[in-house]
């Protein structure tokens, strides 16, 4: 059984993100690495590796669509224990909407061939859309299983998973192949081992272009049906905090409760 | 291409809060566009839901009542909505940005080859185009995005729009057949475990949260008491969740839930950027923290510098008095 893990390189969670007058977004992380594996994808990578360790997956292939620098994120996935990594990179892909990205990912998964499970993160922390997994599933013609919190059984041609929904949990069984998006509850991602890091640093990661793939439908900015040109900083909140001071906690409580009734939020 | 469609999320025979919010947003959009609102009522034993939808102000209902739709599965719902949209060509399709709404709209947009926008928190109609505001980069930036061509498929975040109000109107739904027979749905739900422990974080209009400052699992007691008196939900920082003091489903923040209640009371939470990502759109934020320099005070509207173990019980008893509880 071959497993693919889709992972995107995103700004780190502590990155300071700025946007200029033209709406061009840039970021830096003075304290750490500005670019990381999308934090939600770490759970997908870990689960892929566990499918190899516990459910007999033969290959766990990390797949990313992005610039050359996304190889960094792929190296992290190799260092954690993925058996292979592939970058898909092409100027013509820049500016794709989620459907365009889904088309590229689906085409790459088809090219990898014989894949039974494609793992995705819940969402990418830059666009924060959480749409790509289902859309890739449609392009592959596979069943999407989103918000998966446990893989219970992997049988011959079928899978049983637990999903986390707003009001509780659901156990669902489906025929393979499937697309799975995972939530944090599913596992605790491991740290890359020292050996893993050494191996990953020497790895040659192949880079596929659009011409290497049979992409079905439009990709890139030209085919995107969503206009993303207006991105801006959040206007600072008006006014500053009102600190409530008084001699006793009871008095402070009374003043606060008064204010909250005045604000009509109770 | 005309008409604003809204998928009306329902559960146990009643419209969910997020379903009602989406109806009100659909109404606003349709009125600006000069179009009608059609509600999609899909499920099993949902005749009452259709009536409720008319009462909440939709102009028409297309319904499908079938055992295969008793529980949401996107492989059953997706092809049905896609088929209906292909037959009727609405200009806008809306759903709540719940787990199910997201799945459904991603499926339908992919099959219609349509532009898809998720997690809208604001809408403005500009000509025929819906301009959607939504947070990006974990709430560090905002964007105004729109679909450039064809049907506009949009999901809306919970609590960003008011609930629809009763209009007293009624109507007759148009009932259609399911798109996929049960045998052909490729997945089966074999177990459901619903938890019923008070108000859910995403629906709550009041959230009382605790962080590392509560000091241990028992430190959540005063937090819970205040939440209970206010009919609110309990939230937590990741530090408290990682320490094992409270379950992950209570975590607010970038790697937890995004919430936007009317009132968010943060106790013993420093206000790290990842925590802010999950709660900064709350209407009124109150911070209780013994460190006057804690970043949470930069975000808060009201703050008390002090020990939460003294302040929380005082606030709870003051509310008890005022609310007559
Ligand atoms: C990838 C990533 C994702 C993350 N995702 C999230 C997330 O989703 N949600 C989240 O919350 N965090 C998240 N974090 C963690 C975040 O960076 C902070 O570490 C965390 O929010 C801190 O929690 P805290 O405020 O409870 O603890 P602290 O920062 O330790 O703050 C505790 C506060 O309690 C106050 N205090 C102590 N005792 C008392 C008392 N008796 N009375 C009053 N005040 C008191 C202190 O003054 C202090 O300000 C994430 C981090 C990373 C790296
Ligand atoms: N460019 C990309 N390359 C690889 N995987 C991606 C890419 N974009 C999105 N994904 C996957 O899709 C998931 C959801 O992303 P999104 O829909 O953009 O929030 C991510 O967690 C990744 O697993």
What is the tens place of the pLDDT at every residue in B315-325?
A: 999 999 999 98
Residues B29 and B159 in one domain: yes
Residue whose entry in the numeric block shows the structure tokens 């919430």: B259
pLDDT tens, residue by residue, B20-48: 999 999 999 999 999 999 999 999 999 99
Residues B36 and B168 in one domain: yes
Give yes or no for a contact between B272 and A218, defined as CB atoms under 8 angstroms apart.
no
Query: How far apart, in whole angstroms, are the C-alpha atoms of residue B150 and residue B130?
Result: 12
**What one-character-per-residue DSSP string does A15-46 give?**
-EEEE-TT--EEEE-TTS-SEEE-HHHHHHHH
Q: What local confidence, expressed as pLDDT, does residue A76 receive? A: 97
Q: What are phi and psi of B192, to 5 degrees?
A: -135, 135
Q: What is the dihedral of CA B280, B281, B284, B286, to 10 degrees?
A: -20
The CATH number for B232's domain is 3.40.50.1220
A199's tokens: 């191996």
Q: What local confidence, expressed as pLDDT, does residue A167 receive? A: 83
Residues B26 and B119 in one domain: yes
Residues B52 and B156 in one domain: yes
Tell me what percent of chain B is helix, strand and coil, each rounded to the nearest 5.
35, 30, 35
Using DSSP, state whether B27 is helix, strand or coil: helix
Interface of A with B in 108-137 (CB under 8 A): 125-131, 133-135
Tens place of pLDDT per residue across chain A (266 aa): 999 999 999 999 889 999 998 888 999 998 889 999 999 999 999 999 999 999 999 999 999 999 999 999 999 999 999 999 999 999 999 999 999 999 999 999 999 999 999 999 999 999 889 999 999 999 999 999 999 999 999 999 999 999 999 888 999 999 999 999 999 999 999 999 999 999 999 999 999 999 999 999 999 999 999 999 999 998 777 778 999 999 999 999 999 999 999 999 99
Q: What local confidence, expressed as pLDDT, does residue B13 receive? A: 95
Residue B138 C-alpha to ligand 2 middle, in angstroms?
Answer: 15
Length of chain B, please? 325
Residues B93 and B128 in one domain: yes
Does residue B201 belong to any structural domain of this protein?
no
A160's tokens: 């049983």
Max distance between CA atoms of chain A, in angstroms, equals: 73
Q: What local confidence, expressed as pLDDT, does residue B24 receive? A: 98
Residues B312 and B276 in one domain: yes
Does residue B194 belong to any structural domain of this protein?
no
Q: Which residues of B touch A131 (CB under 8 A)?
A: 102, 105-106, 109, 116, 118
Q: What local confidence, expressed as pLDDT, does residue B287 receive? A: 98
Give yes or no for a contact between A209 and A82, defined as CB atoms under 8 angstroms apart.
no
Which residue range forms the structural domain that includes residue B254? 206-323
A/B interface, count of CB pairs below 8 Å: 235
The secondary structure of residue B105, as a DSSP letter, is H
Give yes or no for a contact between A149 and A157, defined as CB atoms under 8 angstroms apart.
no
Number of domains in chain B: 2
Query: How far apart, in whole angstroms, are the C-alpha atoms of residue A148 and residue A243?
Result: 43
Give yes or no for a contact between A6 and A120, defined as CB atoms under 8 angstroms apart.
yes
Does residue B195 belong to any structural domain of this protein?
no
Residues B98 and B217 in one domain: no
pLDDT tens, residue by residue, A136-162: 999 999 999 999 999 999 999 999 999
Residues B178 and B59 in one domain: yes
Peptide bond between residue A177 and the one before it cis (omega within 30 degrees of 0) = yes
CB atoms within 10 A of CB B14: 13
Q: Among B133, B149, B184, where does a domain finish?
A: B184
**What one-character-per-residue DSSP string does A225-244 give?**
-EEEEEEEEPPPPSS--EE-
pLDDT tens, residue by residue, B234-253: 999 999 999 999 998 899 99
**Backbone angle region of B186, left / alpha / beta, with phi > 0 → left and psi within -120 to 50 → alpha:** alpha
Task: Give the 3-state secondary structure of A2-19.
Answer: EEEEECCEEECCCCEEEE
Query: How far apart, in whole angstroms, are the C-alpha atoms of residue B137 and residue B277?
Result: 9
* Residues with Cβ within 8 Å of residue A140, at least 6 apart in sequence: A106, A109, A110, A118, A177, A179
For residue B197, pLDDT beyond 70: no
Domain A2-208 sits in CATH 3.40.50.620:
yes
**Helix A132-140 to helix B99-112 angle, to the nearest 10 degrees?**
40
Does residue B196 belong to any structural domain of this protein?
no
Query: How far apart, in whole angstroms, are the C-alpha atoms of residue B125 and residue B142?
Result: 18
For residue B117, the cross-strand partners are B154
pLDDT category at B200 given cuts 50, 70, 90 is confident
Residues B45 and B138 in one domain: yes
Residue B194 C-alpha to ligand 1 middle, in angstroms?
Answer: 29
Task: Give the 3-state secondary structure of A124-173.
Answer: CCCCCCCCHHHHHHHHHCCEEEEEEEEEEEECCCEEEEEEEECCEEEEEE
B195's tokens: 């938890």
Residues B180 and B234 in one domain: no
Tell me what percent of chain A is helix, strand and coil, each rounded to the nearest 5.
35, 30, 35
Domain boundary assignment for chain A: 2-208
Does residue B172 belong to any structural domain of this protein?
yes
pTM of the model: 0.91
Q: What local confidence, expressed as pLDDT, does residue B198 receive? A: 62
Residue A237 C-alpha to ligand 1 middle, in angstroms?
Answer: 21
Query: How far apart, in whole angstroms, are the C-alpha atoms of residue B106 and residue A134?
Result: 6
Q: What are phi and psi of A183, to 5 degrees?
A: -110, 170
With an 8 Å Cβ cutoff, is A262 touching chain B?
A: no
**Of the residues A112, A117, A124, A129, which should be mutated to test ligand 2's pocket, given the most ligand atoms within 8 Å of the CB?**
A124
**Of the residues B139, B226, B240, B254, which should be mutated to test ligand 1's pocket, given the most ligand atoms within 8 Å of the CB?**
B254
Q: What are phi and psi of B183, to 5 degrees?
A: -60, -25
* Residues with Cβ within 8 Å of residue B72, at least 6 apart in sequence: B100, B103, B104
Residues B89 and B176 in one domain: yes
Does residue B292 belong to any structural domain of this protein?
yes
Query: How far apart, in whole angstroms, are the C-alpha atoms of residue B33 and residue A157?
Result: 48
Using DSSP, state whether A68 is helix, strand or coil: helix
């Amino acid at each position: 059984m071959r497993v693919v893990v889709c992972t995107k390189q995103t700004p780190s969670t502590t990155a300071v993100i700025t946007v200029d007058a033209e709406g061009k977004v840039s970021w830096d992380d003075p304290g750490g690495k500005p670019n990381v594996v999308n934090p939600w994808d770490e759970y997908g990578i870990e689960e892929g590796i566990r499918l190899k360790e516990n459910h007999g997956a033969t290959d766990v292939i990390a797949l990313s669509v992005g610039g050359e620098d996304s190889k960094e994120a792929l190296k992290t996935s190799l260092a954690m224990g993925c058996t292979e990594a592939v970058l898909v990179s092409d100027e013509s892909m820049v500016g794709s909407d989620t459907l365009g990205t889904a088309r590229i990912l689906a085409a790459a998964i088809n090219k990898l061939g014989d894949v039974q499970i494609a793992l995705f993160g819940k969402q990418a922390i830059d666009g924060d859309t959480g749409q790509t997994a289902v859309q890739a599933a449609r392009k592959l013609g596979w069943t999407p299983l989103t918000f998966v919190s446990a893989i219970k059984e992997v049988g011959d041609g079928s899978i049983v998973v637990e999903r986390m929904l707003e009001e509780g949990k659901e156990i669902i069984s489906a025929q393979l192949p499937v697309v799975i998006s995972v939530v944090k509850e599913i596992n605790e991602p491991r740290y890359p081992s020292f050996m893993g890091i050494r191996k990953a640093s020497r790895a040659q990661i192949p880079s596929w272009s659009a011409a290497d793939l049979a992409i079905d439908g439009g990709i890139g900015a030209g085919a995107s049906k969503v206009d993303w040109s207006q991105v801006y900083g959040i206007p600072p909140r008006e006014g500053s905090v009102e600190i409530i001071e008084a001699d006793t906690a009871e008095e402070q409580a009374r003043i606060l409760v008064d204010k909250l009734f005045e604000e009509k939020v109770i | 291409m005309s008409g604003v469609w809204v998928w009306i999320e329902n559960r146990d025979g009643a419209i969910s809060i997020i379903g009602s919010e989406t109806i009100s947003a659909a109404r606003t959009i349709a009125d600006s566009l000069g179009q009608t609102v059609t509600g999609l009522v899909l499920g099993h034993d949902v005749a009452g839901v259709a009536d409720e939808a008319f009462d909440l102000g939709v102009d028409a209902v297309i319904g499908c009542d079938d055992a295969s739709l008793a529980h949401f599965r996107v492989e059953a719902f997706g092809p049905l909505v896609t088929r209906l949209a292909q037959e009727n060509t609405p200009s806008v399709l809306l759903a709540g940005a719940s787990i199910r709404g997201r799945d459904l709209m991603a499926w339908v947009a992919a099959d219609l080859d349509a532009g898809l926008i998720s997690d809208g928190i604001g809408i403005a109609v500009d000509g025929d185009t819906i301009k959607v505001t939504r947070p990006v980069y974990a709430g560090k930036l905002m964007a105004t995005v729109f679909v450039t061509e064809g049907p506009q498929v949009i999901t809306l975040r919970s609590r960003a729009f008011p609930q629809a109000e009763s209009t007293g109107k009624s109507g007759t739904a148009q009932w259609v057949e399911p798109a996929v027979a049960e045998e052909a749905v490729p997945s089966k739900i074999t177990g459901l475990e619903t938890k019923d422990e008070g108000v859910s974080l995403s629906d709550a209009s009041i959230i009382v949260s605790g962080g590392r400052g509560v000091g241990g699992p028992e430190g959540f007691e005063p937090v819970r008491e205040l939440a209970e008196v206010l009919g609110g939900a309990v939230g937590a920082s990741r530090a408290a969740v990682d320490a094992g003091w409270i379950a992950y489903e209570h975590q607010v923040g970038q790697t937890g839930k995004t919430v936007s209640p009317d009132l968010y009371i943060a106790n013993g939470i420093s206000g790290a950027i990842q925590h802010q990502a999950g709660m900064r759109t709350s209407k009124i934020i109150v911070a209780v923290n013994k460190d006057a320099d804690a970043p949470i005070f930069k975000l808060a509207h009201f703050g008390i510098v002090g020990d939460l173990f003294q302040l929380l019980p005082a606030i709870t008893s003051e509310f008890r008095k005022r609310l007559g509880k």
